[in-house]
Structure 1
Amino acid sequence: MTPYEWFKFVVMMPVFIFRCFLTVLCMPFVFVVLRLCLLGTTVNEPLVGWRRAFVRAFLMYWSHILLHIGFNIWPRITGYENVAKAYDCRATLVFNHVSYTDGIMLGAFFLPCGLAKASVADIPFFGAFAKGCSFLFVERRGSTDEAKTVHASKGSTTELIHERAADPRFPLFAIAPEGTCKHHNVLLRFSSGAFVGGRPVLPVLLKYRSKHFHQGWGRVQSSLWHFMRGQTQFINLADVEVLPPYIPSAEERADPRLYAENVRRLMAEKLGAQLSPQGIREQQLLKRHGVCVDWTGRQLKMRSGSVPAKPAAVHPEA
């Protein structure tokens, strides 16, 4: 928080409040239209006919509106011609996970389907949005989903994902192989779930170009403070780059970990990002032990106190 950041925070606060008001004002309209369009449809079944065309166009339009008005993010996209190639070979969309706004950005340009626990289907607005995107709803053991199996597909989650990804009746299936958000200039270790089975993948690179405050969402002391700082910038710029579909070799099809690592290296090279040896497990350990960056962005905080942040000596995702 430099003097310049404080200046922007104060000056842009009325604009931020006004944007929040407009966003809240639009949400009931979007929700009602979605509910009407989804009447008579079944969870985990594809939308067909006019519903498919209208719901996709409607949600992509409002995702753009939410990006611009709700989050003050103005993205540009390159390589969009590769999306048609991905549909031809039914590639799985894989992307680098940077921020909580990634999903809205993907919705604005691709509206892919994804994975959600079964109970999400009953959450107002978010449940309707997930249904409109043809999300795959699965049961998560040990959660409230066990009492709501009516929304859950049965079977192995990995097998269900690959069945959905290969089904031409559905949009492309999107997966963040890192499994969590982190600092913007690193790629965490990929899990191999998206690469099991040897299907092609469509690498999509998300880059936030804000100069003074980055949207990267790692271990922060206050999520609300991070959100408010991001939305009180004068403008948040972003790039979406779609690479050509990646067709795995015979060796990569036989070894999902090799396949995942090769795709990670390709994405890191295009992003100019460092490769981290850590993954979501280390992120969870940081969370468990209370490690985070303080509200000023200058220090690491722990339960035993705080120490000066040294990027070379700490987990990059912190």
Structure 2
Amino acid sequence: MSVKYTGGISHEECPTEELLNPFVHRLELETTYEKIRTAILTVVLLPIRVSIICFFVIVGWIFAYIGLWGLSDEELRQKPLDGWRKKLKHLICIIGQNCLVAGGMNISIKGRQATKREAPILVAAPHSTFLDGGIVYLVGFPSMICRRESGANNHIGKLINFTQPVYVWRDDPNSRQNSIKEIINRATSDLDWPQILIFPEGTCTNRSCLITFKPGAFYPGVPIQPVCIRYPNKLDTVTWTWEGPSAWKLLWLTLTQPYSNCEIEFLPVYTPNEEEKRDSKLFARNVRAVMAKALGVPVIDYSYDDCLLMTRAKEMHLPYAPSLVEVNKLRDRLGLQNTKTEETLIDSDSICRDCSKISYVEFVKLLNIPSNSPASQQLFKIYDKENSGLIDFREYLLGVLGIEKDKNPLDVLRIACKIYDSSGHGRLVKEDFCKAACQTLALSKEHALEIFEQADRNRLGYITIENFINFAQKKAEFASFFDISSEEKKNSRMNGEILGPNYHTKKVD
């Protein structure tokens, strides 16, 4: 039976296309058989596989160490490896392939890999797991684009450096430009550089779609070969996204499967036309379209910035953090991104007196969006998880305002206090302060209540945001909170904008 919104709209009757969120992955062992099998294989198979993998990794590391002996970082960047060092790369590839087999990977390859002369750059997608790195052992140990921190890793740094990668410092704009120049130089060089392997999405997704390709691989304007990666397994134990199982859990579950399938398909070489050579973004979009067609998935214009947005929301404990990427896309469709409607609402008297329970009709009226729009209906559905026809509008406001780039954590706390202020006069009672603090400072309710009691020194039964700031500035536990705000203000003066905290995480490649 359909649950009706006020105005006659229901979840079941809403004729909207589901908006994909490629940064979320759910994984649970659902059946008793899966749980028992995993438990048994954890005891019987896991130790054997880990031992064999460690052996191969150590042997590969030793050969890479030997291959790099006597070479400086400058020499690695200036010319390709040759002679006996180059032969060692083939040996390491064999070791790496055996390592994948030992981990239970059943890899099938379709199509033919192009030569360096035919396609200097390989473009692989979708990028969904740390296991994608294993493709380097199957395609001849190509150079990769990776973070400089990866090469400094004591465990795998030697193996990475032996591929002669193009390193990127994500926080250094000049480094990115230098990396692009290096890609162009290698792709167009007459020297015997290895092919360059790039994951143009720049981050991990759940393979439900192809997100925006970063243009780095397409700047040189040379022929590229698209490489499609699939993991056709009944139980998906490999997908590593921003919201989902940890790397250790995925590794454990993957190694306790009897085997895991991986398909690598080399598509025909894509040679850019003159227009694509001039426009790297057009080149990237067209290659993405070809790969999406081969994979049978849609293309969606999500990006690395969307990952940062969701991570910022999650670390600040904003409500519905994993869904805020979808929320922003829907707001963009509805034209809310440039109207500042939500910001105007919290500064005006037109907001509802009790926003904790509003209907769909009230929702579209407050935002001044069309009630018959599929995007409006989807936006409401995200917050109506219980299918009751009512949502807490305050959670919506805090989510969309808390992730704006020009807001630092202190600004977000002020917004939260204004949204949850039931008095309307800047006086927050216990319940109001707890909601504001828990959803912006990631505090537990008990901790928030304790802080309220300490900040309300005069026992007035309420505090103001200024009361809290005066209290928090004297507490070591909030030092990082104010340090972040100060640093962001410094960034604002230097760059003309206030950036969020450094939320770069391990899932960004």
Please report the TM-score for the alignment, with normalisation by the length of structure 1: 0.81
CA distance in 1, matches of 2:283, 2:203: 20
1:38 matched residue in structure 2: 68
Match of 2:144 among 107, 114, 122: 114
Question: Relative contact order, CA 8 A, sep 6+: which one is greater?
Answer: 1
Unaligned stretches of 5+ in structure 2? 1-28, 327-377, 383-506
Alignment of 1:132-281 (within 5 A): 132-137=162-167, 156-167=178-189, 168-218=191-241, 219-281=243-305
Q: Does the 8 Å CA contact 2:49/2:255 hold for their aligned counterparts? A: no
Report Cα offsets for 1:212-236 as digits up to 9, x if no partner: 2252221214232222222222210
- Aligned-partner SS, 2:59: helix
Unaligned stretches of 5+ in structure 1? 143-152, 292-301
Q: Does the 8 Å CA contact 1:90/1:166 hold for their aligned counterparts? A: no
CA distance in 1, matches of 2:181, 2:320: 45
Distance 1:154 1:230, change over 3 A: closer
The root-mean-square deviation of aligned C-alpha atoms, in Å, is 2.9
**Cα displacement (A) at 1:239:** 0.7
Percent of counterpart pairs with the same letter? Answer: 23
2:8 matched residue in structure 1: none
2:30 matched residue in structure 1: 2
Report Cα offsets for 1:69-115 as digits up to 9, x if no partner: 1x3211111112x422xx12343110111211111123233311012
1:29 matched residue in structure 2: 59
Q: More deviation in 94-103 or 214-223?
A: 214-223
**Cα displacement (A) at 1:197:** 3.2
Distance 1:34 1:197, change over 3 A: closer
CA distance in 2, matches of 1:255, 1:64: 37
Distance 1:197 1:105, change over 3 A: closer
1:148 matched residue in structure 2: none
1:13 aligns with 2:42: yes
Q: Does the 8 Å CA contact 1:186/1:273 hold for their aligned counterparts? A: yes
- Aligned-partner SS, 1:43: helix
- Aligned-partner SS, 2:314: coil
- Aligned-partner SS, 2:130: coil
Q: Does the 8 Å CA contact 2:237/2:253 hold for their aligned counterparts? A: no
**Cα displacement (A) at 1:210:** 0.8
CA distance in 2, matches of 1:115, 1:188: 18
Distance 1:154 1:140, change over 3 A: closer
CA distance in 2, matches of 1:213, 1:116: 25
**Cα displacement (A) at 1:249:** 1.1
Report Cα offsets for 1:34-71 as digits up to 9, x if no partner: 2123212233231111211x2221121111112111x3
- Aligned-partner SS, 1:174: strand
2:108 matched residue in structure 1: 76
**Cα displacement (A) at 1:12:** 1.7
- Aligned-partner SS, 1:204: strand
Q: Does the 8 Å CA contact 2:314/2:321 hold for their aligned counterparts? A: no
1:105 matched residue in structure 2: 135
Please report the TM-score for the alignment, with normalisation by the length of structure 2: 0.52
Letter in 2 for 1:88: R
CA distance in 2, matches of 1:222, 1:250: 44
Alignment: residue pair count: 290
Letter in 1 for 2:259: I
Q: Does the 8 Å CA contact 1:8/1:234 hold for their aligned counterparts? A: no
